[in-house]
Structure 1
Amino acid sequence: MVDTVPPVATVPLPRRPLDPDDGRRHWYENALGWRTVPGEPLRLVTGLRFDVLDVPVEAGVAALWRLGPDSPVAVRGDRMRLLVAAGSAEELPGLLDWLEWGALAPELDLLALGEGGHMEAPPVPGTGPGSGRPRPLQGAAVWLRPPEPGCEVEASLPTLSAVGGVGGAPDLVRLVDTVATQCHRVRLRRSCAQPLAFS
């Protein structure tokens, strides 16, 4: 008679709870092809597929008409992030000089995020109020105009090659001029609103 050992029942290890950022990371990396930065909070790598012009919301709102309807735009607090073609951040100083904003550039509150930079990843569209999912925290980044999976997002971003009407992309020169003008107006309004200090 052969001794038989009863089979040992294996119990699967408990599954790790699904991290909400895993779904977001998957959407950005697989649906859009955008790289993310490891760790928390979830951040998008700039300089590869797109760059970002980071401006005061007041200036960004005035420039929205310069963007194509498919150009993604995010908002975080009092800042608006306009996605532009990769490489635009490197062109910004020269563009501001050419548009005669170079002397005021440090005071314009116009930032460019390009190669080596990153921006906070807004929640995936359809995950806000009414979707049954938690709302983003107050002050967190949100999409004003979300990117569309399956669309060639990069083709809709403002670029220098659009000068002269080539292709369907918005013109980066006109966008930068509009944003710089609006940033300057915001700066003047804020300086005029401050009380004068007499000693």
Structure 2
Amino acid sequence: MVGTVPPVTTVPSPRRPLDPDDRRRHWYENELGWRTVPGEPLRLVTGLRFDVLDVPVEAGVAALWRLGPGSPVAVRGDRMRLLVAAGSAEELPGLLDWLEWGALAPALDLVALGEGGHMEAPPVPGTGPVKAPPLAGAGPAKGHPGPSIPVGRPGPVQGAAVWLRPPEPGCEVEASLPTLSAVGGAGDAPDLVRLVDTVATQCHRVRLRRSCAQPLAFS
């Protein structure tokens, strides 16, 4: 009598754990629905879900109170990235003219990233060794304690982008971003016009302060 052959059980190969960059890309694309740029370093596409105002940290801190509590903000070295509504970068030149900043716009050190642009993707909040540098006046965000030491003190890792106010999965980020449609709106709706006016004013002050700090040149 020929014995029956037991069925062959196939054991699936263990999955290779995602490396930190893969986990970060997965978080942005699957948890937040933000598009990333292929390749490394990991970068976020601007102009689709959001645009970015890239300003000196000193100017950005002074403007944080113009943002809604859920509006994400990133810091990289001495630069701050304020996330604003998609399309804001295209509106910025005309908005600066309307606010009578047009003549000084080239010297304001105010950069807008919109369609076709990208920004470095900070590590997923709470997973990396790098934390946002404390910034005086940044104020508390929802679920994130406010910083407490003077502006200008170097962050833990110079040149590395980190979230000062990170986006929250499951929340509609666009609803918290400053937009032109909120002008004259009720309540605490984020207002791009007032944000840009505040940022431009602070950028101008930073420029004047830096000019005064430059040593005089004698011939």
Superposed pair shares fold, TM > 0.5: yes
Cα distance change on mapping 1:135 and 1:76 into 2, 3 Å: closer
TM-score (norm 1): 0.87
Computed over aligned residues only, the root mean square deviation of the Cα atoms, in angstroms, reads 4.3
Kindly provide the CA deviation profile for residues 40-71 of structure 1, in whole angstroms up to 9, marking residues without a partner as x: 01100000000000000000000001111110
Cα distance change on mapping 1:194 and 1:138 into 2, 3 Å: closer
In the TM superposition, 1:71-82 aligns within 5 A as 71-82=71-82
Q: Secondary structure at the match of 2:2?
A: coil
How far apart are 1:165 and its partner, in Å?
Answer: 1.1
Question: Identity of paired residues, percent?
Answer: 93
TM-score (norm 2): 0.80
Cα distance in 2, alignment partners of residues 134 and 74 from structure 1: 15
Kindly provide the CA deviation profile for residues 120-151 of structure 1, in whole angstroms up to 9, marking residues without a partner as x: 00111111999x99998542100000001111
Give unpaired runs (5+ residues) of structure 1.
Answer: none
How far apart are 1:18 and its partner, in Å?
Answer: 2.8
- Which residue does 2:92 correspond to in 1? 92
- Counterpart of 1:140 (choices 146, 149, 160) is 160
Q: Is the CA contact (8 Å cut-off) linking 2:36 and 2:45 kept in structure 1? A: yes
Q: Secondary structure at the match of 1:103?
A: helix
Cα distance in 1, alignment partners of residues 7 and 115 from structure 2: 57
Q: Is the CA contact (8 Å cut-off) linking 2:76 and 2:158 kept in structure 1? A: no
How far apart are 1:19 and its partner, in Å?
Answer: 1.9
Q: Is the CA contact (8 Å cut-off) linking 2:179 and 2:190 kept in structure 1? A: yes
Q: Secondary structure at the match of 2:102?
A: coil
**Equivalent residues, number:** 198
How far apart are 1:169 and its partner, in Å?
Answer: 3.2
Cα distance in 2, alignment partners of residues 28 and 175 from structure 1: 26
Q: Is the CA contact (8 Å cut-off) linking 1:129 and 1:135 kept in structure 2? A: no
How far apart are 1:109 and its partner, in Å?
Answer: 0.1
- Which residue does 1:195 correspond to in 2? 215
Q: Secondary structure at the match of 1:44?
A: strand
Give unpaired runs (5+ residues) of structure 2.
Answer: 128-145
Q: Is the CA contact (8 Å cut-off) linking 2:77 and 2:155 kept in structure 1? A: no
- Comparing 19-28 with 48-57, greater Cα deviation is found at 19-28
Q: Is the CA contact (8 Å cut-off) linking 1:156 and 1:168 kept in structure 2? A: no
Cα distance change on mapping 1:129 and 1:37 into 2, 3 Å: farther
Q: Is the CA contact (8 Å cut-off) linking 2:55 and 2:203 kept in structure 1? A: yes
